[in-house]
């Protein structure tokens, strides 16, 4: 009986122990189920986060095989990505860069950031900013999570900005123009490095400071520059524009055209002044050379032996040389602005009004004889060579003329005509006489009688030849006069 009781007691103890173990097991199972449910929820939450993340997320092993991908990469499905090498999706020249970064994360267990391109199925290259981080198992790097954000738009903006800035740099360099900026609230002053380069300096050699900049300005221009700046700030000038000299590092002088405008706040108070500085040294040198050239040709023009003048389309004198003043006895201010016809005899006026401007439009006119009236009332015979200038429509703009005094030529012509008339009269007398002896005596007398006027004619002709050029159409006639006079 005792043995049975002991057995019963033993069995009851085992039963209690088994129940306790079962309770512990049930508790462990329940806890595991709870843990698994929590893990499942955590995984679902993590996966939901991964799938809804705006960035591309992949898991990579040491050789770059894609173990996981959260979404498509520019049209590439996840099932096409997983199991492939990440290097196969990017241009070859960038593969070593990503490979080095991946191995470094495995070796250092530290994060890395890298920019890289991916080629889409369409062949387009998309740029990404990637962040690599280690995934550890048992305190060892098991794989790497690679989170990438599409920065194609940003890269394009950067490229566009670089192109724009490069274009700006090239255009400003070509135009020899730089910018400057004066913040009046902080008194900060910025000078474009290109402007400093105009003066032969590196950027760090001239401080971004008004006083430093003014120190390089020509002493004679500083006060005027400051006065112009102040006038612009006070609103007395709509914009700042000032040409001044600056000292180059090599000691030479550079001319700078500075432009600027004042920016004001809502109250109208000046808060900033910004503008440009342009190197105009070459322009100034060209202007100076042009002035010297104009002075040179003006001297030649004014001191020429012939008269020069220009007329507008209405026949008004717009310019004349000093020879005009000398030949006609007028001062230049008495000539400019008056009708050309005012200086002609009545006969020449009629001829001038007949051909001007209709006939003048058609062609240049050469060897046109006219008569001027001097201020003292005397007549000046001249010959004109007239050139025309027309616009793109063929309309007359102005005429220019070279006018030569032919007083001596006219005297020679009159004397030659008088001699010819005397010779003709003598010839008629010889015919009337009908005697050869008398003709011989008469010829000797005629020769003596004609010798004196012919000498004068020859002299006038020779003087006229000295005044005209080789291409003058009167040259042959004058040479013939001299030749015939020698024969007599």
- The tens digit of pLDDT for each residue in 449-472 reads 566 666 666 676 676 667 666 666
User: Per-residue pLDDT averaged across 411-418, rounded?
Assistant: 80
- Structure-model confidence comparison of residues 280 and 53, the more confident one: 280
Query: Phi/psi class of residue 254: alpha, beta or left (left: φ > 0; alpha: ψ in -120 to 50)?
Result: beta
Tokens of 173: 């360099």
Output the 3-class SS for the chain: CHHHHHHHHHHHHHHHHHHHHHHHHHHHHHHHHHHHHHHHHHHHHHHHHHHHCCCEEEEECCCCEEEEECCCECCECHHHHCCCEHHHHCCHHHHHHHHHHHHHHHHHCCCEEEEEEEECCCCCEEEEEEEEEEEEECCEEEEEEEEEEECHHHHHHHHHHHHHHHHHHHHHHHCCEEEEEEECCCCEEEECHHHHHHCCCCHHHCCCCHHHHHHCECHHHHHHHHHHHHHHHCCCCCCEEEEEEEECCCCCEEEEEEEEEEEECCCCCEEEEEEEEEECHHHHHHHHHHHHHHHHHHHHHHCCCCEEEEEECCCEEEEECHHHHHHHCCCHHHHCCCEHHHHECHHHHHHHHHHCCHHHHHCCEEEEEEEEECCCCCEEEEEEEEEEEECCCCCEEEEEEEEEECHHHHHHHHHHHHHHHHHHHHHHHHHHHCCHHHHHHHHHHHHHHHHHHHHHHHHHHHHHHHHCCCCCCCHHHHHHHHHHHHHC
User: Per-residue pLDDT averaged across 219-231, rounded?
Assistant: 91
pLDDT in the model for residue 47: 63
User: Per-residue pLDDT averaged across 259-281, rounded?
Assistant: 91
**Rounded-to-integer distance, Cα 342 and Cα 81, Å:** 99
User: Per-residue pLDDT averaged across 326-334, rounded?
Assistant: 93
Q: What does pTM read for this prediction? A: 0.49
439, pLDDT greater than 60:
no
What confidence tens digit (pLDDT) does each residue in 46-70 have? Answer: 566 566 566 788 889 999 999 988 8
Tokens of 353: 């009004």
Q: What is the mean pLDDT of the chain?
A: 81
- Structure-model confidence comparison of residues 306 and 170, the more confident one: 306
pLDDT band at 485 (very low <50, low <70, confident <90, very high): low
């Amino acid at each position: 009986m005792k043995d049975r009781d002991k057995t019963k007691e033993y069995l009851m103890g085992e039963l209690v122990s088994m129940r306790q173990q079962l309770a512990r097991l049930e508790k462990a199972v329940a806890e595991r189920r709870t843990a698994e449910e929590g893990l499942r929820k955590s995984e679902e939450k993590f996966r939901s986060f991964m799938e809804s993340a705006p960035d591309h997320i992949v898991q990579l092993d040491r050789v770059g095989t894609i173990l996981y991908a959260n979404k498509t990469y520019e049209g590439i499905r996840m099932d096409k990505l997983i199991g492939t090498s990440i290097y196969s999706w990017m241009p070859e020249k960038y593969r070593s860069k990503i490979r080095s970064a991946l191995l470094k994360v495995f070796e250092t267990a530290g994060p890395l950031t890298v920019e890289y391109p991916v080629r889409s199925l369409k062949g387009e290259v998309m740029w990404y900013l990637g962040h690599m981080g280690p995934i550890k198992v048992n305190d060892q790097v098991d794989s790497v999570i690679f989170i990438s954000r599409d920065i194609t738009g940003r890269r394009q903006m950067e490229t566009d900005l670089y192109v724009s800035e490069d274009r700006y740099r090239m255009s400003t360099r070509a135009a020899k123009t730089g910018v400057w900026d004066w913040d009046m609230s902080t008194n900060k002053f910025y000078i474009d490095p290109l402007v400093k380069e105009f003066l032969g300096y590196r950027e760090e050699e001239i401080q971004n400071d008004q006083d430093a900049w003014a120190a390089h300005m020509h002493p004679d221009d500083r006060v005027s520059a400051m006065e112009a700046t102040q006038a612009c700030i006070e609103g007395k000038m709509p914009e700042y524009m000032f040409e001044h000299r600056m000292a180059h590092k090599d000691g030479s002088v550079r001319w700078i055209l500075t432009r600027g405008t004042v920016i004001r706040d809502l109250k109208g108070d000046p808060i900033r002044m910004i503008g440009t500085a342009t190197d105009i040294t070459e322009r100034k040198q060209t202007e100076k050379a042009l002035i010297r050239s104009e002075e040179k040709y003006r001297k030649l023009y004014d001191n020429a032996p012939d008269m020069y003048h220009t007329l507008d389309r209405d026949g008004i004198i717009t310019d004349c040389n000093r020879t005009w003043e000398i030949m006609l006895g007028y001062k230049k201010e008495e000539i400019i602005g008056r009708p050309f016809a005012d200086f002609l005899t009545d006969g020449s006026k009629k001829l001038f009004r007949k051909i001007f401007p209709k006939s003048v439009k058609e062609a240049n006119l050469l060897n046109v004889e006219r008569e001027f009236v001097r201020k003292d009332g005397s007549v000046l015979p001249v010959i004109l060579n007239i050139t025309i200038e027309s616009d793109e429509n063929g309309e007359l703009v102005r005429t220019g003329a070279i006018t030569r005094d032919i007083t001596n030529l006219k005297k020679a012509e009159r004397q030659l005509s008088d001699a010819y008339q005397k010779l003709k009269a003598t010839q008629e007398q010889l015919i009337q006489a009908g005697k050869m002896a008398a003709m011989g005596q008469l010829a000797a007398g005629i020769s003596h009688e004609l010798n004196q006027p012919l000498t004068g004619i020859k002299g006038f002709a020779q003087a006229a030849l000295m005044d005209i050029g080789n291409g003058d159409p009167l040259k042959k006639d004058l040479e013939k006069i001299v030749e015939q006079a020698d024969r007599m």
